[in-house]
């Protein structure tokens, strides 16, 4: 059995930096999709790939469980980096690792990047998406179709690097000639549907042409995220190479470049160079989720400790102005909306402003939650509300005075 490999990673049309990373070091293949502010996502995915590359050398390729250790080491390395550098706090990355040994493929997976298998014209998703909506689909609370358009589909419940340890999904399958495997970041699967992915793999037997075409289609559909497609085509070792086929070179590892101090833009990688990108999605094997917190988090106990951690880290950077049960205007971390009964907010602090002190026409907005860019922005919005309340109070006083 021999394999043909193609890869393309592209920044897409909407983002400035490619925070995706990949590694091709036959028989090891990895796609990682980093997240975090500024260059942090880039650092997370590149660190994952670098650590995996180092650790894999010592791993027992025939023992899938050793892959769990490899990903846990990558997790620790990212976690430690984020703990020692405040600018990297909260960074994380998905990671989908595939290795081939004795005609068997072993997958180790965390996050919402995906692995697919095309066999006999049928495309199967091998991995499970470690996302909130993915969980809701598995629990039968959301259809696959609804999940694809759900406003919270980007909330990831399990990734590398946001906690000191991580749960890793493991999956093995026997390969047969003509199988096509695809590892990809969510920048591909959020832009084009599985029907088009299947059709593209079927119509492009050349692995590099298929990877190129998939990225091209995702960009044509909007390219809203970084896009990485890594295609592995399993060939019968007895069959001759098709004309023009580019054999994978087992001796030359290819991987995305490490993050630069000033991130390059318009980055794109193929063949012997590579790139990285940003957000995430995923697959099917077992459970998942992320990180936790402190006081008054109304929400996520039901999601399990792991999922909890990641959601919290995502929500840490979101603020809004709302109202607490006592009718006090309050600044919250998180998001005003609930997801399937899960509250995604944590009280930051009260404001000594009663909702009842605001003009009536403003109360609905506050009750629904006024989103803010930052804590400072939220404070400014509260200051504005207080001004309105004050002038509203003065008007009331004036009216009363005039009517006396
Ligand atoms: Ca992504």
Burial class (CB in 10 A: 0-12, 13-18, 19+), 61: middle
Centre of ligand 1 from the C-alpha of residue 25, in Å: 22
pLDDT at residue 147, as a whole number: 86
Calculate how far, in angstroms, residue 184's C-alpha sits from the geometric centre of ligand 1: 9
Would you state the structure tokens that stand for residue 277, as one six-digit string?
């990108």
CA of 191 to the centre of ligand 1 (A): 11
Per-residue pLDDT, 301: 43
Per-residue pLDDT at 172: 96
Find the 177 Cα to ligand 1 centroid distance in Å. 31
pLDDT in tens, 155-183: 888 999 999 999 999 999 999 999 999 99
Look at residue 286 and tell me whether its pLDDT is greater than 70.
Answer: no
- Distance between Cα 311 and ligand 1 center (Å): 16
* Model confidence at 267: pLDDT above 50: no
Q: What is the pTM of this model?
A: 0.67
CA of 3 to the centre of ligand 1 (A): 27
CA of 277 to the centre of ligand 1 (A): 7
C-alpha distances in Å from residue 216, one per residue of 72, 187, 287, 329? 33, 12, 32, 48
The pLDDT assigned to 145 comes to 85
Distance 196 CA to ligand 1 centre (A): 19
Q: How far is the CA of 11 from the centre of ligand 1 (A)?
A: 10
Predicted pLDDT at 287: 29
Give the pLDDT confidence of 304-342 residue by residue, as tens digits.
444 555 666 666 678 899 999 889 999 998 888 776 566
Kindly indicate the confidence band of residue 388, based on its pLDDT and cuts at 50, 70 and 90. Answer: confident
93 Cα–ligand 1 center, Å: 9
In the reported structure, the alpha carbon of residue 19 is separated from the centroid of ligand 1 by a whole-number distance in angstroms of 8
pLDDT for 357 beyond 70: yes
**5, pLDDT greater than 50:** yes
The pLDDT mean for the chain works out to 82
Cα 73 to averaged position of ligand 1 atoms, centre (Å): 22
228 CA → ligand 1 middle, Å:
9
Q: Please state at what angle helix 207-220 crosses helix 194-203, rounded to 10 degrees.
A: 150
Q: Which of 6-15, 240-249, 277-286 has the highest mean pLDDT?
A: 6-15
| pLDDT average, residue stretch 130-154 | 87
Angle, CA of 261, 253 and 98, to the nearest 5° = 100
The Å distance, Cα 186 to ligand 1 centre, comes to 5
Output the CA 281–ligand 1 centroid distance in Å: 7
Residue 36 has pLDDT above 90, yes or no: no
DSSP assignment of 143-188 equals: -HHHHHT-TTTT-BS--BSSSS----EEEEEE--TT-EEEEE-HHH
Taking Cα atoms as reference points, which of 200, 203, 208 lies closest to residue 233? 208
| Residue 392 CA to ligand 1 centre (angstroms) | 46
**Could you tell me which of 150, 159, 139 has the C-alpha nearest to residue 190?**
150
Would you place residue 47 in the very low, low, confident or very high pLDDT band (cuts 50, 70, 90)? very high
Cα of 42 from ligand 1 centre, angstroms: 11
Phi, psi at 28, each rounded to 5°: -115, 130
Spacing, Cα 108 to ligand 1 middle (Å): 18
Least confident of 2-16, 148-162, 253-267: 253-267
Report the 3 state secondary structure along 80-139: HHHHHCHHHCCCEECEEEEEEECCEEEEEEECCCEEEEEECCEEEECCECCEHHHHHHHC
Alpha carbon of 189 to ligand 1 centroid (Å): 9
With bands split at pLDDT 50, 70 and 90, how would you rate the model's confidence at 259?
low
What is the 88 CA–ligand 1 centroid distance (Å)? 18
pLDDT higher than 60, residue 362:
yes
- For 86-101, what is the mean pLDDT? 94
| Res 40 pLDDT > 90 | yes
């Amino acid at each position: 059995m021999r394999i043909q490999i193609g890869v393309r990673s592209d920044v897409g049309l909407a983002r400035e930096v490619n925070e995706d990373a990949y590694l091709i070091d036959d028989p090891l293949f990895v796609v990682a999709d980093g997240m975090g502010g500024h260059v942090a996502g880039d650092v997370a995915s590149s660190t994952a790939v670098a650590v995996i590359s180092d650790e894999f050398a010592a791993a027992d390729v025939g023992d899938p469980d050793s892959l769990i250790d490899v990903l846990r080491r990558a997790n620790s390395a990212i976690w430690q980096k984020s703990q020692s550098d405040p600018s990297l706090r909260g960074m994380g990355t998905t990671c989908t690792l595939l290795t081939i040994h004795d005609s068997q493929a072993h997958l180790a997976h965390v996050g919402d990047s995906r692995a697919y298998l095309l066999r006999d014209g049928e495309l199967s998703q091998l991995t499970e998406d470690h996302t909130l909506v993915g969980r809701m689909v598995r629990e039968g609370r959301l259809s696959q179709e609804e999940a694809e358009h759900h406003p919270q589909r980007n909330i990831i419940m399990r990734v590398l690097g946001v906690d000191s340890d991580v749960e890793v999904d493991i999956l093995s399958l026997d390969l047969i000639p003509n199988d096509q495997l695809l590892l990809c970041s969510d920048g591909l699967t959020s832009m084009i549907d599985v029907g088009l992915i299947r059709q593209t793999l079927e119509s492009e037997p050349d692995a590099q042409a298929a990877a190129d075409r998939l990225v091209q289609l995702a960009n044509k559909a909007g390219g809203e995220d970084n896009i990485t497609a890594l295609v592995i085509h399993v060939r019968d070792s007895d069959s001759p190479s098709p004309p023009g086929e580019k054999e994978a070179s087992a001796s030359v590892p290819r991987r995305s470049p490490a993050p630069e101090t000033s991130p390059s833009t318009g980055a794109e990688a193929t063949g012997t160079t590579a790139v990285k990108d940003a957000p995430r999605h995923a697959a099917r094997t077992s459970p998942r989720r992320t990180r936790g917190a402190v006081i008054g988090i109304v929400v996520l106990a039901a999601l399990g400790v792991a999922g909890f951690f990641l959601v919290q880290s995502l929500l840490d950077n979101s603020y809004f102005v709302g109202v607490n049960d006592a009718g006090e205007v309050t600044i919250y971390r998180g998001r005003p909306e609930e997801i399937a009964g899960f509250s995604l907010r944590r009280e930051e602090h009260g404001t000594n402003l009663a909702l009842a002190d605001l003009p009536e026409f403003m109360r609905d907005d506050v009750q629904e939650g006024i989103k803010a860019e930052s804590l400072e922005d939220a404070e400014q919005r509260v200051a504005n509300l207080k001004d309105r309340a004050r002038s509203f109070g003065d008007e009331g006083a004036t009216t009363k005075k005039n009517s006396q």
